Structure 1
Amino acid sequence: MQIIESCYICTTPFQIITATVMACEKKEVADVYIVPQFIGADNYCNRLKKLNVFRKVVLVDSDQFEKYKRFKNGFFRAAGIVVNYIRINKVVRSILLKDTLYDNIYISSKANIGRLICLYHLKHRPKTIISYFDDGEGSYNNERLYTPKTGDYIIRRVIFGKRSIDLSKTIYLYSPELFKTIHTQSGMIIKKIKTWHNDSEMLSKINTLCDYDEKKGIEEDVIFLDTLAEDVFNKDYVSKYYRIQDQINDLFRGNIVYKKHPRDNKKSDPDKRIYCYDSIPFEVICANCDMSKKIIITTSSTAVATPKILFDAEPVIVMMFNFVHWKNKDTGDKEKYYSALMRVYNDKNKFYSPHNKKEFFKCLTELKNRIINYTEDTNEQ
């Protein structure tokens, strides 16, 4: 029996989780290459090695190939990419395990290292099968996520030929239903990634991988997924946003927790209960509790889709998307995404998207009363 050798290329904790799930399901001889684009990548590598899911776990030293990213000038950044294309044999051979060419490559992000590994195989082993796998909102919203931009398109076509423009038509997703709701005429081949939260052995692996234990769970009924206010809102709206947060906090006091944006390094408000385990992915938090009984409030965090997409769980979702003042008015893609998410919800009454602040707080007050009534009924039983 022929041994199939595969590799996964990951740049985020979510991708590492998904690669682990897929590798266990496929039972291929697989290696994983982790590009350290996030804090704690070395810790993930060390914990992943102990799980014995992959033959080899490789932490890629990407700095030596991506020095061009330090340039702000677009010309110099483009030149750096071209140099890597021309030197692709030397670059990729210094990354891959010695003399290794894979039968299958699974790639999620558009990161430079993954692209180089794919193009190298296209050049030296054209029969390698390249597949994409779930990278969150972008994988669902943008069917052309992996299509190169004009300059890269021309350079690839010249150096690597026509096939380098479209490396794969196959994508592995947690929710093919959501993808097909957004793209009704897609030419992509969609394959489903299995749900893993009900598999005790797999859940244990993922919890170990992400350093999760019971004390890191969320017991509160309400979760507020925060954003980087200064980056996404008009300058005059930022203070209003924080006042709305204060009002929400007063309404649900003692029963709400705030999950900060991963890149938010501001000092936390001592009056708010902040989820303090920053390194724990939201996907893992969701896998370890009954999300169908939670309420999630957010302006635009795509993580609200996580419970439904990964685990077919339907928390109450309350979006602030329609009435906050965005810095960038072009929000069409996100609107399309949230609209599709609502359509795949079985219980449409659990998805709220108020059009103004008055409607928003009316909705929250009703939800608070529902929590109080449920608690009282439970205590009487």
Structure 2
Amino acid sequence: MAFSLDLTADSTRNALRPSTAPEKPSLIGLTRAEMAEALVATGVVPERQAKMRVQQLWHWLYVRGVSDFAHMFNISKDLRAALAEHFAISRPEIVEEQISNDGTRKWLFRFPPRGAGRPVEIETVYIPEEGRGTLCISSQVGCTLTCSFCHTGTQKLVRNLTAEEILAQLLSARDRLGDFPDRDTPAGAIVPSEGRKVSNIVMMGMGEPLYNFDAVKKALLIASDGDGLALSKRRITLSTSGVVPEIYRTGEEIGVMLAISLHATNDDLRDLLVPINKKFPLKELMKACREYPGLSNARRITFEYVMLKDVNDSLEDAKALVQLLKGIPAKINLIPFNPWPGSNYQCSDWEQIEKFADYINAAGYASPIRTPRGRDILAACGQLKSESERLKKSERLALEAMMIAGHGEA
């Protein structure tokens, strides 16, 4: 069963108007040092108190999940009012929430204008599984990579998301899933990390994370901070199509798990499927993977490989894949192609996918076949696309009315 929370046509139009109100800076997404500097610069907090106040705010924002200064009960009423006057900590607007038959959730978030820009919309997906829950987070509005099998790649890049907007997806998802402690829990209580609905995050949503490196780095370091959201870096995976220079930086400066959107074993085919390969060919990409810090059998690189019928799914392709990854501690995720309107590809036959997986397993690599999730709400891998690129609700309703009028009850 799927349902959606849609705005009315009037409220949609109002939301899309550029804001004329002064934009308050958000405390979400700031480092501790940046937060302290902002508090002191506005005169809200004297410098001698800055470290202590940052510690309090960090706890309220990232452990308690508070989105209103009024709920920070161990901070004086006057200070809460001053904070609210100068800063924002609110969540983005949820334009639509859909729940798939398999329990997958997809949210369409709308962020307010930045500077002279307009509001933007992105999609975020939550995938519940036995023993864990994974949140697929977007890093850009649109994408520049134009991977030929990917729905998101058909949408032009609008802009990068800020660290605040990247973290807001995680905070909003935890809100919706009831993943923060109740307000009745004492403010100083240590909330257990076990049993959280969002236990893993993957930077696999809209966009190429490494083309937005600085914001992604800041967001992931905050997400993995032990005094806040406290996600283990082994439970955070960054997926890239192969931006080689930033792969090195990811290992050195962020230290999260790495996934490579591979999909082909030779440059000619990968140039077609993943055009960034023309800039960073397989030889350079594999070198960066082999040199990624901390690789071991317990800390493997995940290689994502979408199964495209009669394109990259032969036994010869499987043999070439094993040879390409030789010597790299790796897991190979085989992804049945998720169809989308206008695609020129077909999913490989299931029997062929299993033969492909059997060969790779026999060669010593784990090669799970990813179970498609959320297909009925276009939430599966490669299907994310901003709702702003589709018909708006009012247009859909008008079109449906015309069809009914023209064709009757049939």
TM-score (norm 1): 0.28
Q: Give the structure, 1 or 2, with the largest relative contact order (CA under 8 Å, sep 6 or more).
A: 2
**Structure with greater proportional helix content:** 1
Give TM-score, length-normalised by structure 2.
Answer: 0.27
